[in-house]
Amino acid sequence: MSQNVEALIASLAASDIAARREAAESLARLGAGAAPAAIPLVKACGDADEEVRNWAVAALEELPAPTASDAAALEEMINVDRLDVAFWATTLLGRMETSAASTVPTLAVAVANHPESVVQQRAAWALGRIGKPAAAAIPQLEAATASKDPRLARLASAALESVRS
């Protein structure tokens, strides 16, 4: 990891709002080069400052899949009470595909019980991206296909196809 990215990651946790804003913006401008900052950027989606949150989201939109070593940290963030943090943690797990197989139980619970429908939807999508290794989530995905939320039902159906194929 370059010293510049390391310094920006450290600045994301600074007490100074201007430093956090500048770090988040700089990471967003790095595009895929900000990949080592995936976990701190997801955490920054819960920042008290809206500008920091917006730049963190902008950076996350451009990131490739995190490494398998990030799966556990992302998994822990699925159930935080900040919607953007949970959404982006789930999204990055989906981008990891089979490398996120260890998180299937947590994603299955999120499909069935997460209080935010958008996180339920994203968890179904992530399980579909994981594919066959997500077979343990078939009962939750089957139940979600009958959801009153049409998007969740559609994503769960698509995930089931992926898991079963």
- Domain of 6? 1-64
- Count the Cβ atoms, other than its own, within 10 Å of residue 68: 13
Q: Compute the distance between CA of residue 156 and CA of residue 23 in angstroms, rounded to an integer.
A: 37
pLDDT value of position 103: 98
- Are residues 32 and 72 located together in one domain of the fold? no
- Are residues 112 and 84 located together in one domain of the fold? yes
- Are residues 58 and 89 located together in one domain of the fold? no
pLDDT value of position 1: 53
- Are residues 57 and 88 located together in one domain of the fold? no
pLDDT value of position 152: 98
- Are residues 72 and 57 located together in one domain of the fold? no
- Are residues 55 and 73 located together in one domain of the fold? no
- Are residues 97 and 133 located together in one domain of the fold? yes
CATH code of the domain covering residue 59: 1.25.10.10
pLDDT value of position 90: 98
- Are residues 4 and 32 located together in one domain of the fold? yes
- Are residues 85 and 142 located together in one domain of the fold? yes
pLDDT value of position 123: 98
pTM of the model: 0.95
Structural tokens at position 94:
């989906």
Q: Which of 64, 99, 117 is the last residue of a domain?
A: 64
What are the average pLDDT values for consecutive 10-residue runs of the chain, which has 165 residues? 85 97 97 96 98 98 95 97 97 98 98 97 98 98 98 98 96
pLDDT value of position 101: 98
Q: Which of 18, 33, 64 is the last residue of a domain?
A: 64
Q: Which of 25, 42, 64 is the last residue of a domain?
A: 64
- Are residues 11 and 56 located together in one domain of the fold? yes
The three-state DSSP-derived secondary structure of the chain is CCHHHHHHHHHHCCCCHHHHHHHHHHHHHHHHHHHHHHHHHHHHCCCCCHHHHHHHHHHHHHCCCCCHHHHHHHHHHHHCCCHHHHHHHHHHHHHHHHHHHHHHHHHHHHHHHCCCHHHHHHHHHHHHHHCHHHHHHHHHHHHHCCCCCHHHHHHHHHHHHHHHC
Total tally of structural domains belonging to the chain = 2
- Are residues 74 and 16 located together in one domain of the fold? no
Q: Are residues 107 and 136 in contact, defined by beta-carbon separation less than 8 angstroms?
A: no
